[in-house]
Structure 1
Amino acid sequence: MTNALTIDVEEYFHATAFSSAVPPERWADLPMRAGEATRRLLDLLASRGIRATFFVLGWVAERDPGLVRAIREAGHEVASHGYGHRPIRGDGRGDGRGDGRKDGRKEFIEDTDRSKKLIEDLIGEPVKGYRATTFSIVRETLWALDVLAEMGFAYDSSIFPIRHDRYGIPDAPRFPHRHSSGLIEVPPGTARVLGQNVPIAGGGYFRLFPPSFTRWGIRRVNEKEKMPVVFYVHPWEVDPDQPRLPAGRLTRIRHYRNLDRTEERLSDLLETFRFGTIGEMLEQLAPQSMEPCSSLRPPHLDPLPQERKREASYISSLSPVTGERARVRGSIA
């Protein structure tokens, strides 16, 4: 079973929790550290013979283009994390031509298009994957999936099927599925515990939970549910010497806890489970012939067979993702 290893390439000061203390106009005054940390991750992956999907922030790509080229030259997939690390906001009901302050569509299109074009110019090939800042495609911003499809993306990995104070759609499907627009949604990994979705996907959960819990969760999904897990990590999580920024107690715990242990934990995880790119992960899914549903409005869902009917409240028209090797490889690779 090949799980997907994903890396969100951003700076330590880009975390949304620091947005008040470190607004965008101050970013240029802070030392950049993502390049060195990302190259350390590249070395780790090379030593294991593993390819991953790197969701690169356009702001970082613009300032360190050599890093983006190095990622691609090492054989990894390069995807977009947007440009300015702005969470998606608004109801998206505008047409993208107004000021965009209420509907959020104009800002989202401009930010995403800027990142996509920048990265494509650097790697010389289409960018097919997207992940929103802070997993900010939630119920109110599901309109963004249609926009991504219109922009030529093949898949998105922004909907976290959990309860959280900042993001998440707890009753969304836990495994890859196809939106009515044709876009494939690839959710971060969760395990079912006492009837609830519990995150096992990485990030702060990987640092805060015991390593044994992460291993248990991935093994349970792989062996009992026969499905892969999407795992994620940030370069700043393997950089324990990063400057400390002003923040409240909860933010400090979420951001700084166990930074000195992340790289070792990740190395052990890569030895225990099989990982690859999102494209490689999608190739192994069983073929499905069902076409996407056409209705965009009322709530409806056709999840993968492994998902339960409890997920039928997810607000979007979705269908199972096809696992046909040629079709998936052509749209993702």
Structure 2
Amino acid sequence: MKPLNLPRKIPDFSALSFDIEDFFQVAAFENQCPVESWPRYECRVEANVEKLLELLEGHSTQATFFTLGWIAERYPQLVKRIVDSGHELASHGYNHQRINLLNQQQFRDDIRSSKLLLEELSGLRIDGYRAPSFSFTEQCPWITEELLEAGYLYSSSINPVPHDLYGYANAPRTPFLWPNGLLELPVTTYELLGKRIPCAGGGYFRLYPYLVFRHLMRKAIQQLQTPAIYYLHPWELDPLQPRIKGASLKSRFRHYINLSKTEQRLRQLLRDFNWVPIRQLQPVSETLYQRAD
């Protein structure tokens, strides 16, 4: 792992990203909602992404949309809407299956089929990838080679914290290059007394009081002197989504905590920070496009 030599100053912009999946596709419910059962559920992703797009338009903000192939195949007009709104389209894999549950061939098929589909639907080259549930771990050393061979230029798949479902706890906290040259952009963490505190979005955005979350993100930007990389899911803007039966108390807590507060918090976040899609980060974008030539 080779850290990038970033300028040592507080960055002016941070990266806003969204993982486009529906409420029944999350890792917390993978035992209750296996892939073969997905067609039985009410899809709410179109309405939730539309709400998200209108919210971003109202704040003159663009973002990166890591989109599932499963979603794109069923809602090609959603892909068109994202691209026509000026946002960056990137891959979230095809079936939102955690990488540690796939073998190398299954992973290869997943990342290539999703990239090909998104490129066909959008007419654009797909440069970025984010692993489902940040399941990029030390147990799968072939991930970076497969991504590079599939034509991806960067990954934002590392959440450098310990977690029971994901986490690459010993990975760098700032952008770095894997040994094969693939660019990695970990999501943001703040370090306090030797412990890494997640402050990149998702469930932590809903769990922490907003002022605490904002403080942690600002402190992380100052500490790392790199842009923050934030993520959220469209289902987190949907407090009326159907409840999944049979999930554990921990899974229900993680998924449903403070859903009713997400939209207002996101509106405030859009006002409190300056945001760009991942492709526009400097000097990360310089590294990315130098490799693209």
TM-score of the superposed pair, with normalisation by structure 1: 0.81
> Which one has a bigger Cα radius of gyration?
1
Identity %: 41
Q: CA RMSD in A?
A: 1.6
List per-residue Cα deviations over 1:213-271 (Å, max 9, x = no partner).
21111211223432111100000000111000021111111000100100110110110
Q: Name the amino acid aligned to 2:58.
A: S
Match of 2:50 in 1: 39
Q: CA deviation at 1:83?
A: 0.4
The answer on 1:28 being equivalent to 2:39 is yes
Structure 1 pair 17–224 and aligned structure 2 pair: CA distance change class (3 A): closer
Q: Matches of 1:128 and 1:209 in 2, distance apart? A: 32
Q: CA deviation at 1:23?
A: 1.4
Q: Matches of 1:228 and 1:206 in 2, distance apart? A: 17
Match of 2:77 in 1: 66
Q: Matches of 1:275 and 1:329 in 2, distance apart? A: 20
Match of 2:181 in 1: 182
Q: Matches of 2:57 and 2:173 in 1, distance apart? A: 30
Q: CA deviation at 1:330?
A: 5.4
Question: Which of 82, 86, 89 is the aligned partner of 2:97?
Answer: 86
The answer on 1:120 being equivalent to 2:119 is yes
Match of 1:253 in 2: 253
Structure 2, unmatched stretches of 5+, are 1-11
**Large movers: runs of 4+ above 4 Å:** 330-333
Q: How does 1:91-102 map to 2 (within 5 A)?
A: none
Match of 1:132 in 2: 131
Q: Which has the higher contact order (CA 8 A, sep 6+)?
A: 2
List per-residue Cα deviations over 1:56-115 (Å, max 9, x = no partner).
00000000000011001100000000001111127xxxxxxxxxx7xx111001111111
Q: Is the 8 A contact 2:279 2:285 kept in 1?
A: no
Q: Is the 8 A contact 2:15 2:275 kept in 1?
A: yes
Q: Name the amino acid aligned to 1:227.
A: T
Q: Is the 8 A contact 1:279 1:332 kept in 2?
A: no
Q: Is the 8 A contact 1:207 1:259 kept in 2?
A: yes
Structure 1, unmatched stretches of 5+, are 91-100, 286-322
Q: Matches of 1:261 and 1:124 in 2, distance apart? A: 36
Q: Size of the alignment, in residue pairs?
A: 281
Match of 2:6 in 1: none
Match of 2:30 in 1: 19
Match of 1:150 in 2: 149
